[in-house]
Structure formats: C-alpha cells, structure tokens
C-alpha cells in the first residue's frame, strides 16, 4: 500500500509540474525594464530627430530625410528601419512603447547622416563688438556631475566650441572665455566681454536638481537685466525649442557673470544632468550638435 501511495503521489506531482510548465492562456506582460535597458519611442524620436508621421492602434511610422522607422506597437512587435527588421518591442506601458536601448545605435547607423540645418544666408548680422561665449566651469571646477558619471565642464566646452564655430561661419566675431580645460575667474569672464564691448555674452551650463525627474532647459538673466538681455533670452528660448527639450522659461538670478557684464548677458542651462534621459542626450555628440545649432540660431536671431 505504501509503495502504491508513493507512486500515486509521484505521478500527481509530475502531472502538476507539467501543467505548470504549459503557457498560460492569458498573455503575461513582463515588468518594467530599467532605464538602462529600454528607451521609449518618444525619447528615441527626440534623440534621433525623427518625426512621427503616423500612429494607429497597431503601428507607428517615424521618418527623417527619406528614412522610415516602422514600429508595431504590441509586445514583441517588430521594429523595421527602411523595411529591414532590427529588433523587437520590449513592452507597452501607459500607451508608451519601449524598445531595447541596444537598438538605438543600430537604428542610427541605418538612418544615414542627416543633412546639416541650413545656416542663415546671406548677410551676417551687424556686430559692433563681439559675441563672447563662456563655457561654464573648467579646470579644478568640474561643475555638476551627471547621473551617468561625467562632468558638466566637458559638455559645456564641447557645445561652446561648436556654437563659436557656427557663429564664425556666419561672419560674427567671437571670443571664448576658455578653449580648454582650465578655470578663468568669474570676474575675468565678464571683464573680457566688457573690454571687447561685446554685443552679447552667453554663458553655457548644464543644470542639476535633487529630483531626478526634473527636466528641461532654462534661460537666466540678472534681476535688473536690461531690455536687450531680456530680448536675447527670449530669442534663445525660442530657438532652443528645436532641440526637442521642454522650456522652463526665462528666470532671473544674480549670477556673477550676469551682474558683472555691462552689456546684454544670458546664462543658458541646457538640461539636467541629474535626469537620466537628458544626461544621456547631452553626452551624445549628435545631440550636442543640435544644441549648439539651436543656441547659435538664437544668438543670430537676437543680433538681427
């Protein structure tokens, strides 16, 4: 009897195990992946400058310069670039579609090189002095540390150099407060602008916040800022909307470089290094180019 009982128990256990291994009739949606593993389609479109051309209950179509990205919007749906499959959708969450972050570089390589944004033509603005571009921090002052581990000072300098090059291409005289990884004193930065009778001083920074969810770019002018400074800040704010980031508006604060500069002066905070998404963008060279183009366009619009 005991042997027969044990046999029944063993057979029942095996049957239960087999049933447990069978796929469920109800689809199981996996839990959220970490931010490092997936990226939303909205974030992808901003990162790669793709526009959403079509969205239906079954698929999305994104385009850029004759390239097409099609994403079937269900878990496990395929992602195609120019009719070639590159991977699968990871998950759907609150009507947002997420794909593996590992696909970003593959999609970018298949999109080809975007054409540069046409520069303003043909007449350069009339500039009596210079535009002074200040790459914030530098040297022993690293600025903020991003949540991805890099320093603000390097991003500031990379974007500032590109802004200066773009302005020079447009016939605008430019001076930079620093061209390498060293630290000019704050009063020396403003003094350079004053000595050159600068038409505009623009200090370039990246922001930080105790809240990792805080996002967006911000423009700062001094509390007693002139109308010219206010106009320059508005011109930069409008142009920077082309980056795809949200604006936190024009704010007032008595930063040294703003107060000590005699002429029009604006401080730009390009985005938040404490936000994983924006920190990822600001580290990306193609997004740095977009940011520099936007800042240069804002400066050019103001000078006109």
CA-to-CA distance for 153 and 281, rounded, in angstroms?
Answer: 16
Domain edges within the chain: 38-111, 131-303
CA-to-CA distance for 151 and 288, rounded, in angstroms?
Answer: 15
Mean pLDDT over each residue of the chain, to the nearest integer: 85
How high is the pLDDT of residue 196?
A: 95
Is the Cβ–Cβ distance between 184 and 141 less than 8 Å?
Answer: no
Who has greater pLDDT, 270 or 48? 270
Complete DSSP assignment for 11-30: HHHHHHHHHHHSPPSS--PP
Return the SS3 of 80: strand
Report whether pLDDT(91) > 80. yes
Which residues have a Cβ under 8 Å from the Cβ of 107 and sit 6 or more positions away? 44, 48, 69, 79, 81, 86
**pLDDT tens, position by position, 26-65:** 333 333 444 568 998 888 888 888 888 788 878 888 888 7
Instruction: Based on the residue annotation, tell me whether 152 is a catalytic residue of this protein.
Output: no
Question: Which of the residues 43, 237, 269, 278 is marked catalytic?
Answer: 269
User: Any idea how long the chain is?
Assistant: 304
How high is the pLDDT of residue 265?
A: 98
For 131-303, which CATH class?
Answer: alpha beta
Is the Cβ–Cβ distance between 256 and 187 less than 8 Å?
Answer: yes
CA-to-CA distance for 216 and 282, rounded, in angstroms?
Answer: 12
How high is the pLDDT of residue 75?
A: 82
- For residue 235, give the DSSP letter: H
Is the Cβ–Cβ distance between 222 and 230 less than 8 Å?
Answer: no
Shared fold status for 38-111 and 131-303: no
Confirm whether pTM is higher than 0.75. no
Q: Of all residues in the chain, what percent carry a pLDDT higher than 90?
A: 61
Is the Cβ–Cβ distance between 30 and 91 less than 8 Å?
Answer: yes
Superfamily (CATH) of domain 38-111: Copper amine oxidase-like, N-terminal domain (3.30.457.10)
Is the Cβ–Cβ distance between 222 and 155 less than 8 Å?
Answer: no
Handedness of CA 300, 304, 272, 209 (dihedral sign): positive
How high is the pLDDT of residue 237?
A: 97
Separation of first and last alpha carbons in the chain: 100
């Amino acid at each position: 009897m005991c042997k027969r009982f044990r046999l029944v128990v063993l057979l029942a256990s095996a049957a239960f195990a087999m049933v447990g291994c069978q796929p469920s009739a109800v689809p199981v949606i996996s839990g959220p992946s970490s931010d490092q593993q997936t990226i939303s389609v909205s974030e992808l479109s901003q990162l790669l400058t793709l526009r959403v051309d079509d969205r239906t209950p079954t698929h999305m179509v994104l385009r850029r310069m004759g390239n097409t990205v099609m994403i079937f919007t269900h878990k496990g749906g395929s992602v195609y670039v120019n009719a070639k499959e590159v991977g699968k959708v990871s998950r759907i969450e609150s009507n947002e579609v997420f794909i593996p972050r590992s696909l970003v570089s593959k999609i970018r390589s298949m999109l080809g090189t975007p054409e540069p944004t046409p520069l303003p033509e043909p007449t350069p603005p009339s500039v009596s002095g210079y535009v002074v571009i200040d790459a914030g921090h530098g040297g022993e002052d690293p600025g903020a540390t991003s949540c991805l581990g890099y320093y603000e000072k390097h991003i500031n300098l990379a974007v500032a150099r590109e802004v200066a090059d773009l302005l020079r291409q447009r016939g605008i005289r430019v001076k930079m407060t620093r061209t390498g990884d060293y630290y000019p004193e704050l009063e020396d930065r403003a003094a350079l602008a004053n000595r050159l009778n600068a038409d505009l001083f623009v200090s370039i920074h990246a922001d930080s916040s105790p809240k990792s969810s805080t996002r967006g770019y911000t423009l700062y002018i001094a509390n007693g800022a002139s109308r010219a400074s206010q106009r320059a800040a508005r011109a930069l704010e409008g142009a920077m909307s082309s980056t795809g980031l949200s604006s936190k508006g024009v704010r007032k604060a008595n930063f040294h470089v703003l107060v000590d500069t005699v002429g029009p002066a604006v401080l730009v905070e390009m985005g938040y290094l404490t936000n994983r998404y924006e920190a990822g963008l600001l580290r990306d060279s193609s997004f740095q180019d977009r940011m520099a183009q936007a800042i240069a366009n804002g400066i050019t619009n103001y000078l006109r």
